[in-house]
A and B are shown apart, each in its own frame.
Chain A
């Protein structure tokens, strides 16, 4: 029974999305009601799954041999699915308000809904083929969302987006084929599935393929040198940038890297090799690079996009430590970063929506006009900086703990990179906060008079995120224990 639900949560959003153009909505209200209802029902189903993890798996269909589309829910998948289930209804609510200011709502909501199902598909996939399938699907269904505004800029961004995604998938495909050939099974098994006997002398090839595969999946996390697409994709409406390009899509990349590293290749085989050092170097560089670009960037959404790039590499850093502790840290950061970053993106979106200002220097003094929005932004900034008491500190602590415990000199450099990045984060986030609240006595222009805080549809998600950030920051014991149990045996 529970296994069927797994299929249902993937299918339901996809079909209700496709059905949307055919349904005769008379008012906007009806359409919104339909959307929110579908998303909420789906989230409830996912949460039901979480509270009683189905033991078995569900094979949808089988191609040949061990090639099949199969769903199963393990700890890591449950984490990702749970995250999506919490965020989607809130993001949907937020976008109802936000999309008032944009055209073509219908097509936007259609793809927004479908993406939910596809993301859950990635989370619930039992083997690498299924994951690859949904991974590709995700690139395709999010493309129309990037293209949404139909401006020249959007078209260019969408093109870049597509090329990067397809290129990445191609590399990932190589890795998949390798695992299918040299592995004992295509399923995800903690500790890896590669058959040492089959590999024999070809360990050099194994490592090379791993690096290719890692890079392929990391295109979605926008690791350097594949990071250019993410800031460009900021032309999409803010709900897309916030939920997809700061959480769902990019986390899919991190999730896929976790899967192939710990569940397919196996961290034991990779630990201490040059491949580990190479990818770690890339990741550490990205951590600092992303932050530095964020400091330099003056466009609000692009600044946050660069920040996402850096933070996604925190997760990858945890992953490439190749220890269970590292995986715990990575999972923790995946979870916490989602809340922090979506909160800051939603705040910026609210500002854009209300004032149509897109650049950092334009927000001087706005904090007193929109105190609730900027208050939430300030809290998410503190969380991203890693102030104890908020969730960012907990994940940083676990990542650094894992890095120090690994006793690798390069991991020590990684800890230093985390700290440099924290400082740069403080600079690019607090810059906005200080400007908003303490502008240094500038005169106010006429257009600002009518600026008000956003309404409840935007503020409710923000409030919930703030509560979650404090909750995980102050009471991290249970969740970290849970994540540790997920990563044990990897």
Chain B
């Protein structure tokens, strides 16, 4: 059991470090020589053995982490970090859910990366950080106390930054910096709260229902509430919540497309997990229900939902539009959490799954267009459906999912979110929430469907696409990954029973 846990974190990290060391040593050798630029490019190129290495490492890691997730409740203490706090991992229902999503998305993105990154260059470095990020995410999801979680939260930031500044242009470096500093700002806000929770909580270990000691808190409610609020804002940075969302539309689009897909579908969820852990596993919802913290949080989440959609609607850069859409969609989840009722929580968890698959798919399709035609702006995609009907078809499916049209998974999650809001009996928000969700759904349709429509029906205008190459020359790697994601979006929507059962059970445990 313990071997599985440690292996699931240790294996991807070690293999990533080995690959990174190899890539660095080659780069340094090249840097030592006089004529460098040409050779350096070649040295970073992959080959069959690189893909074999990466995929064996990735598949073993996924195997380890899935085995750790589904074979009983394991927990393992690694060593004492501070006087009273140890690095401690524990598998629970939240961890199981998130880890499964991550373990599906990561190999899919990996397959897609093979053809994509071959052109982009710097493959060894890319895969090294790709593996490292998987390891850090595993550690983060399985973290059993706040300090362990905080440690991996920072590490995720540090290993995912190189993915953002991968292509090394001035713009990418600037975006990478912005990403780093926003994320660290969030992490330090989180740490600020951890200091206070350490004093007022019985234990830092995650326990459903929270560990706050009311006897100690009495008289200090204000500062504890403030600390929790600062933590929400801080961890909300990763989830792209207002007011600190500005990094997301800058950082996600400049990364190579598979990396943006991973960032936007999975790494933003790190913020969601952190908030779930803090609110439901450490502080406990009773303490927050009906306080100004809950109301402010809801307001911020709803504002983000609305603002994100509006900004996406008027954005013309394709990947940037998707990034704004992430800002908006992740706040659906945060809104669901802020309601703190069973149905809303189920909806939030479902939306984690739905948004994970859908946003990953959307970014990957955007990557396909970028890869083959170099088209990064929405108006350039007019008529693209004639060339790549399959890809645009997948895109349409993902769009429908994000808007929330049955029978996709997106419909289910939104249904539960709205139902939870209506049942919550919180004044104003119980009807305002669903309304804003609805408006945002219209906006989502408004910013995604025109791509499909113009793609398939370009109208009178003749586009230069007419003259380029053969029809739908998508690489099999890219095609397979898109189809897989399409299946994952559609299938749970058609057969929702087991998933719904699992999610509602998880929600009951979390809300205990």
Residues of A within 8 A of B (CB): 368-369, 371, 382, 385-389, 394, 397, 400-401, 403-405, 407, 412, 415-416, 419-420, 422-423, 426-427, 430-431, 434, 438-441, 449, 474-477, 480-481
Q: Whose C-beta in chain B lies nearest to the C-beta of A369?
A: B31
- 7 chain-A/chain-B pairs, Cβ below 8 angstroms: A368-B28, A388-B150, A388-B151, A400-B195, A401-B199, A415-B192, A419-B188
Provide the bound-state CA to CA distance between A389 and B82, in Å: 10
Give the chain A neighbours of B185 by CB distance below 8 A.
Answer: 423
Residue of B nearest to A476 (CB): B82
With both chains docked as a complex, state the minimum distance between the C-beta of A144 and any C-beta of chain B, in angstroms: 41
Interface string of B303-347 (1 = CB under 8 A from A): 000000000000000000000000000000000000000000000
The answer, yes or no, to whether B218 is at the interface (CB within 8 Å) is: no
In angstroms, how far is the closest chain A Cβ from the Cβ of B191?
6
A371, A387, A388 interface centre (most CB from chain B within 10 Å): A388
CA gap between A389 and B165 in the complex, in Å: 25
Q: Are A440 and B191 in contact (CB-based, < 8 A)?
A: no
Q: How far is the CA of A333 from the CA of B27 in the complex (A)?
A: 37
| 1/0 contact string of B152-170 vs chain A (CB within 8 Å) | 0011001000000100111
Within 8 A of A (CB), among B1-46: 24, 27-28, 31, 34
Contact check, A388 vs B169: say whether CB atoms are below 8 A apart. Answer: no
A449-B34 contact given A385-B184, A438-B165, CB 8 Å threshold? yes
Q: Which of B82, B158, B169, B199 is close to A394, meaning CB atoms less than 8 Å apart?
A: B82
A388 & B147 in contact (Cβ 8 Å cutoff)? yes
Most buried by A among B31, B150, B192, B199: B192
Tell me, in angstroms, the Cα distance from A415 to B188 when the chains sit together. Answer: 10
Given known contacts A397-B82, A401-B195, is B180 in contact with A426 (CB within 8 Å)?
A: yes
Total interface residues in chain B, CB < 8 Å? 39
- CB of B432 within 8 Å of the partner chain: no
Taking a contact as CB atoms under 8 Å apart, the answer to whether A434 and B177 are in contact is: yes
Contact A440 B34 (CB under 8 A): no
Give, as a whole number of angstroms, the nearest-CB distance from A212 to chain B: 32
Contacts of B30-76 to chain A: CB distance below 8 A = 31, 34
- Specify which of B80, B147, B188, B199 is in contact with A423 (CB 8 Å cutoff): B188
A438 to B34, CA, bound (A): 19
A394 and B199 alpha carbons, distance in the complex (Å):
16
Known: A388-B151, A439-B173, A474-B79. 20 other contacts (CB 8 A): A371-B24, A371-B28, A387-B158, A397-B195, A401-B195, A401-B198, A422-B191, A423-B181, A427-B181, A430-B177, A431-B177, A434-B180, A438-B165, A438-B173, A440-B170, A440-B172, A440-B174, A441-B169, A449-B34, A481-B83
- Chain A's closest residue to B226 (CB) is A412
Give chain B residues whose Cβ lies under 8 Å from the Cβ of A388. Answer: 81, 147, 150-151, 154
**What residues of chain A lie closer than 8 Å to B172, measured between beta carbons?**
440
Query: In the complex, what's the smallest C-beta–C-beta distance from A5 to chain B, in angstroms?
Result: 32
B77-127 at interface with A (beta carbon < 8 Å):
79-83
Q: Which of chain A's residues have a CB closer than 8 A to the CB of B270?
A: none
Bound CA span A382–B80, Å: 20
Contact B168 A389 (CB under 8 A): no
Indicate whether B220 reaches chain A with its CB closer than 8 angstroms.
yes
Residues of chain B with a CB closer than 8 A to A419's CB: 188-189, 191-192
Contact A438 B220 (CB under 8 A): no
Bound together, the chains give a CA A150 to CA B325 distance in angstroms of: 61
Minimal beta-carbon separation of A407 from chain B (angstroms): 7
Interface assignment of B223: CB less than 8 Å from any CB of chain A:
yes
How far is it, in angstroms, between the C-alpha of A440 and the C-alpha of B170 when the chains are bound? Answer: 4
Complex CA distance for A438 and B196, rounded to whole angstroms? 37
B236 within 8 A of A: no
The reply to whether the CB of B433 lies closer than 8 angstroms to some CB of chain A is no
- Selected contact of B181 from candidates A382, A386, A387, A426, CB within 8 Å: A426
Q: How far is the CB of B6 from chain A (nearest CB, A)?
A: 16
B195 touches A474 (CB 8 A): no
CB-CB contacts of B187-204 with A at 8 A, as 1s and 0s?
011011001101100000
Rounded to whole angstroms, the CA-CA distance of A440 and B223 in the bound complex is 43
Contact B220 A407 (CB under 8 A): yes
Q: Report the nearest B residue to A442, measured CB to CB.
A: B170
Cβ contacts under 8 Å, B80 to chain A: 475, 477
Q: Write the nearest CB–CB distance from A206 to chain B, whole angstroms.
A: 31
- Give chain B nearest CB distance to A445 CB in angstroms: 14
Chain A residues near B135: list those with CB within 8 A: none
- A368 contacts across to B, CB distance below 8 A: 27-28, 31
Give the complex CA separation of A401 and B151 in angstroms. Answer: 17
B-chain residues with CB within 8 Å of residue A475 when the two chains form the complex: 79-80
A353 and B170 CA atoms in complex are apart in Å by: 28
User: Which chain B residue shows the least CB distance to A430?
Assistant: B180
B176 contacts the other chain (CB 8 A): yes
CA distance A400 to B194 in the complex (A): 10
Residues from chain B with a CB closer than 8 A to the CB of A407 are 220
CB-CB under 8 A from A385, the residues of chain B are 184
CB of B327 to closest CB in A, whole Å: 22
**Contact A426:B199 (CB < 8 A) given known A434-B173, A440-B173, A474-B79:** no
Task: State whether A438 touches B176 (Cβ < 8 A).
Answer: yes
A-chain residues with CB within 8 Å of residue B82 when the two chains form the complex: 394, 397, 476-477, 480
Shortest beta-carbon distance from B423 to chain A in Å: 37
Cβ of A405 and Cβ of B191 under 8 Å apart? no
In the bound assembly, the distance between CA atoms of A382 and B187 in angstroms comes to 14
How far, in whole Å, are A480 and B85 apart by their CA atoms in the complex?
A: 13
The answer for the CA separation of A423 and B180 in the assembled complex, in Å, is: 10
Cα(A388)–Cα(B153), bound, Å: 10
Closest Cβ of chain A to B250, distance in Å, is 15
Which of A403, A423, A481 is B184 in contact with, Cβ under 8 Å? A423
Are B199 and A404 in contact, CB atoms less than 8 angstroms apart?
yes
The smallest C-beta distance from B121 to any residue of chain A, in angstroms, reads 13
CB distance from B221 to the nearest CB of A (A): 13
> What residues on A are CB-neighbors of B196 within 8 Å?
404, 415
Give me the 3 closest cross-chain CB pairs, A-B, nearest first: A440-B170, A388-B151, A440-B173
Closest to A426 in B: B184
